[in-house]
Structure 1
Amino acid sequence: MKELIDNFLLYLSSQKRFSKYTVISYKNDLSSAAKYVLETYEIKDIRKISFFHIRSYIVDLMKNGMSAKSVNRKISSLRSFYKYLIKKSIVDKNPMLKVISPKIPRRLPDYVSKTDIAILFDSISLGNTYCEARNYIIMLLLYNTGMRKSELIGLTDESVDYAQKRIAVVGKGNKQRIIPITNDLLTKIRKYIQIRNQSFECRESFLLLTDKGKPMYPKLVYNVVNRVLVSMATSTKKSPHILRHTFATHMANNGAELNTIKELLGHASLAATQVYTHNSIEKLKDVYSRSHPKA
């Protein structure tokens, strides 16, 4: 079964052009399922895996406290894997066809308030060292563009178009989208690049690098953002994705159309963007004070 998984992962990276981190996620999901059916049912032949075994695996994940969102990601990985196996005529039955994904409770996305964002960016700057400059640019890019962590890591110097004042991002499914950026951000990116080039003689082609001049990786981006948010923001979550939610929420609260936010975020459908139609308490207070006769 390992060989089939390895072949599928190669297909994702070479033909589908999925990012390294997306392929790693698929590998973890499929390896987890393969390990379960081997240890629980002693199944080594993929053709012997049925809907019963898949359902048992999903139930086990949920019994062990895995969130519906994480379970759905594993189900999605298995669905893609079985589509590949059917296409290659490796199996003739798809046990995933009967699988129903658990419903994800709809929660309003956590985000950083405008006040906290202003305080946050007043407290950090390009600084005097490479790490200070890089960390500052990471925070600026995530909040000003709403890009994903993986998209940030994939940026190169060529991603930034100074003449057109925009940045090209490669998102999910290797799809490129263009995000406009401000003159102020462009100026700070230029200054950051100067500091970076002075810090490393031989460097990678990526825009953002580690302390040693190597390509960035997800955990490092998380740590950078987490350290800043822990010290400043009042939101309960401190991950890079919070800045994506914050970008979208602030855009929505300032009157941006949902379709515009969808395009900027790189969402495949409008349904994923509709969660940002919620109103912040600040906006509700503003509308109330302007609209209610007794306010």
Structure 2
Amino acid sequence: MENILLPSLVDRFVKHLKSQEKSSFTIVAYKKDLEQFVGFLTTQEISDIKEVKTNHINGFINKLINDGYTKKSASRKLNSIRTFFRYLKNDGIIEQNPSLDVSHPKYIQSAPRIFSKLEYRALRDFAKEEPRTYALIDILLQTGMKIGELAGLKMEDVKDSFIHIAQYGKTLARDIPLNKAVKKSIDDYLKVRSMESSVHLFITRTGKPLLIRNIRQIISRCFREVGI
């Protein structure tokens, strides 16, 4: 069997995802996870797919946790790796799937956080100074939308009376009613939104889409400021 370099296989997998019409967010998430994994393998002087063993995947997961990633994040990245190797085996590129014997890190699923009326009001009041932050917070609080869904919102998804949510993971596409308060917060944000051309609703000053980690950072800052 000839040497098959890992980066070329990641590119091949990404093309496969596009052919399956996966969402752009899903594709970017897989690509980033796998590039991070390949980067780790490079430090282990591994560049050929047939050299990857179960202990290398375990080593990557352990390194993530030691580097400060939550066990939940490490578990999600393991899912990306498993899907990648499943694709390679189904396509006849590898004979054995080294990810099958890797166990997910155990973590306790915390119950959803329910805000008091005072906390709810404090979050919205603090965020009012920044139209983009206010729109983000308002949508999350009033629609129950997932952060990943929020990051994937496009301009065309926002209608007069509802927001269309594209399929996200196992969650099917759906329409969420849009009340006047949320619609106003979105409209106020659009008035100051960067003029850079982008199909995404929430973008940076340079026109790049806000990633999940960017949104989490914004929300965490708001929580700290209001003492939640």
Name the TM-score, length of structure 2 as normaliser.
Answer: 0.77
Q: Distance in 1 between matches of 2:188 and 2:60?
A: 51
**Following superposition of structure 1 onto structure 2, how do residues 6-155 of structure 1 map, counting pairs within 5 Å?**
6-20=11-25, 22-40=26-44, 42-62=45-65, 66-110=69-113, 112-125=115-128, 132-155=130-153
**Change in CA separation of 1:39 and 1:168 when aligned onto 2, cut-off 3 Å:** same
Q: Which secondary structure does the structure 1 equivalent of 2:99 belong to?
A: helix
Extract unaligned runs of 5+ from structure 2: 1-5
Q: Distance in 1 between matches of 2:55 and 2:134?
A: 50
Q: Which residue of 1 aligns with 2:3?
A: none
* Structure index of larger Rg: 1
State the Cα RMSD in Å. 3.2
Higher alpha-carbon deviation: 46-55 or 72-81: 46-55
Amino acid at match of 2:17: L
Deviation, 1:155, is 2.5
**Change in CA separation of 1:122 and 1:2 when aligned onto 2, cut-off 3 Å:** closer
Deviation, 1:16, is 3.9
Which whole-Å deviations, capped at 9, do the CAs of 1:139-190 have from their partners, x for residues lacking one?
Answer: 211211122334223323432332xx32111242494222122233234434
Count of residues paired in the alignment = 221
Deviation, 1:47, is 2.0
Q: Distance in 1 between matches of 2:112 and 2:145?
A: 16
Q: Which residue of 2 aligns with 1:185?
A: 182
Q: Higher helix fraction: Structure 1 or Structure 2?
A: 1
**Change in CA separation of 1:50 and 1:11 when aligned onto 2, cut-off 3 Å:** same
Q: Which secondary structure does the structure 2 equivalent of 1:178 belong to?
A: strand
**Following superposition of structure 1 onto structure 2, how do residues 136-285 of structure 1 map, counting pairs within 5 Å?**
136-162=134-160, 165-173=161-169, 175-193=172-190, 195-196=191-192, 200=195, 203-211=197-205, 214-218=207-211, 220-232=214-226, 234-235=227-228
Which whole-Å deviations, capped at 9, do the CAs of 1:56-77 have from their partners, x for residues lacking one?
Answer: 4444545555432122122111
Q: Distance in 1 between matches of 2:43 and 2:85?
A: 21
Q: Which secondary structure does the structure 1 equivalent of 2:153 belong to?
A: coil
Amino acid at match of 1:148: K
Q: Distance in 1 between matches of 2:69 and 2:201?
A: 35
Q: Distance in 2 between matches of 1:52 and 1:187?
A: 52
Contact 2:18 2:27 in 1 (8 A): yes
Q: Distance in 2 between matches of 1:187 and 1:65?
A: 38
Q: Which residue of 2 aligns with 1:271?
A: none
Q: Which secondary structure does the structure 1 equivalent of 2:164 belong to?
A: strand
Q: Distance in 2 between matches of 1:59 and 1:156?
A: 36
Q: Distance in 1 between matches of 2:188 and 2:36?
A: 45
Extract unaligned runs of 5+ from structure 1: 236-295
Q: Which secondary structure does the structure 2 equivalent of 1:79 belong to?
A: helix
Amino acid at match of 1:77: S
Amino acid at match of 2:145: M
